[in-house]
């Protein structure tokens, strides 16, 4: 099996169809990231397409020195930035009340119910984080990226990532605790 980087380099050389392979491999992961950053399914899906479009268009900026995934996140973050510019955050998050749609299903009893309730609350708390904090927490918690990988994507030191993830967690916990009480 070809590595992501080898495939992307072929795309860069003009074999555009190969991008399909990378789409297959990463569109769900990317969707997950963009969903957490917008909480809008359709918007997140559109942004996945847009990210892949930009990767095609700016394929020459892929050097192959770093991992493809990191470059993908960099492109996705630019798409996200453009989107944030277009929409005010208030509008972006106006359907947060539909949060039950995005929580795990299950019977409304016992532990399941509590977890569901808790997740609902946490999700609302996530909303209250700054975009930067939500982004770094999403990468760390949902995308399960290593600090070193996040450092590469966000173009900062590993130490800075550590501190920021932790601060985001502290902030989330404190917002959550306030909401609970």
> Rule CB under 8 A: which residues touch other proteins?
16-17, 19-20, 23-24, 27-28, 31-32, 35-36, 41, 44-45, 48-49, 52-53, 56-57, 101-104, 115-116, 118-119, 122-123, 126, 137, 140-142, 146-147, 162-163, 165-166, 169, 172-173, 176-177
Tokens 């299903």, located at residue: 105
Instruction: Work out how close the CB of 143 gets to other proteins at its nearest, in angstroms, rounded to a whole number.
Output: 12
Instruction: Work out how close the CB of 85 gets to other proteins at its nearest, in angstroms, rounded to a whole number.
Output: 22
- C-alpha 15, offset from chain centre: 28
Instruction: Work out how close the CB of 115 gets to other proteins at its nearest, in angstroms, rounded to a whole number.
Output: 5
For other proteins, the closer CB: 65 or 181? 181
* C-beta atoms surrounding 157 within 10 Å: 12
Q: Which of 34, 50, 68 has the alpha carbon at shortest distance from 152?
A: 68
For other proteins, the closer CB: 9 or 55? 55
For other proteins, the closer CB: 65 or 109? 109
Q: Which of 14, 50, 4 has the alpha carbon at shortest distance from 30?
A: 50
For other proteins, the closer CB: 65 or 107? 107
Tokens 């020195």, located at residue: 65
Q: Which of 138, 168, 172 has the alpha carbon at shortest distance from 36?
A: 138
Instruction: Work out how close the CB of 91 gets to other proteins at its nearest, in angstroms, rounded to a whole number.
Output: 19
As a whole number of angstroms, the distance between CA 1 and CA 149 comes to: 23
């Amino acid at each position: 099996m070809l590595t992501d980087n080898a495939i992307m380099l072929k795309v860069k050389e003009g074999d555009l169809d190969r991008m399909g392979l990378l789409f297959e491999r990463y569109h769900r992961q990317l969707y997950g990231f963009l969903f957490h950053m917008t909480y809008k399914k359709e918007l997140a899906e559109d942004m996945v397409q847009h990210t892949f479009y930009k990767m095609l268009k700016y394929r020459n900026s892929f050097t192959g020195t770093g991992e493809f995934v990191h470059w993908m996140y960099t492109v996705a973050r630019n798409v996200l930035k453009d989107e944030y510019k277009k929409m005010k955050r208030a509008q972006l998050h106006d359907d947060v009340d539909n949060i039950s749609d995005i929580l795990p299903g299950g019977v409304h009893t016992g532990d399941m119910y509590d977890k569901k309730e808790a997740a609902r609350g946490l999700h609302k708390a996530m909303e209250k984080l700054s975009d930067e904090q939500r982004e770094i927490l999403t990468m760390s918690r949902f995308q399960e990226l290593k600090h070193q990988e996040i450092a590469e994507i966000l173009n900062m030191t590993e130490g800075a990532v550590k501190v920021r993830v932790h601060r985001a967690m502290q902030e989330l916990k404190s917002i959550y605790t306030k909401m609970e009480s």
